[in-house]
Amino acid sequence: MEFIWTVDLTSGYYNDAISIRKKVFVEEQHVPPELEIDDLEDKTIHVIGYLEDKAVSTARLYQKNDTTFKVQRVAVSLDFRKQNLGNQLMLEIERYAKEKQVNQLILDAQDHALSFYEKLGYQIEGDSFMDAGIPHHKMVKTLNL
């Protein structure tokens, strides 16, 4: 899989990311569009995974401080799930974070995805909370730089 990183909200890459996110979060999970596309779009770094030139996965990173990225909007297109592509996406995010000397990744995981993130070394922090009507937990992973 090839990964492209962008901050250009006018690029085709960003449009590919938004297309995946709308299908996964808005159409499949019924997240209101105004919650999915928020005021952090131009403050985040977007990554898109391509398989044979087709956009199949995406996420975005929000830099909380010098040492922490918040991973958001992690999504894999429906037809490409169960192929280890989400795992590849998360490993690419770790590679990028290390390259930028960021040693902590945090995210708000939907409860159905907790085991996915735990297998990648993330740990649950705190109690369950609701976001867009979906139960979540905060998760944290410290990277070895």
Query: Domains along the chain?
Result: 2-142 (3.40.630.30)
pLDDT of residue 43: 97
Per-residue pLDDT for 145 more than 80?
A: no
Angstrom distance (rounded) from CA 75 to CA 78: 9
**Mean pLDDT along residues 1-29:** 97
Q: What would the DSSP string read from start to end of the chain?
A: -EEEEE--TTSHHHHHHHHHHIIIIIIIT---HHHHS-TTGGGEEEEEEEETTEEEEEEEEEEEETTEEEEEEEEE-GGGTTSSHHHHHHHHHHHHHHHTT--EEEEEEEGGGHHHHHHTT-EEEEEEEEETTEEEEEEEEE---
pLDDT digits (tens, 9 = 90+) for 27-77: 999 999 988 999 999 999 999 999 999 999 999 999 999 999 999 999 999
pTM, two decimals, is 0.94
pLDDT, tens digit, 9 for 90 and up, residues 65-104? 999 999 999 999 999 999 999 999 999 999 999 999 999 9
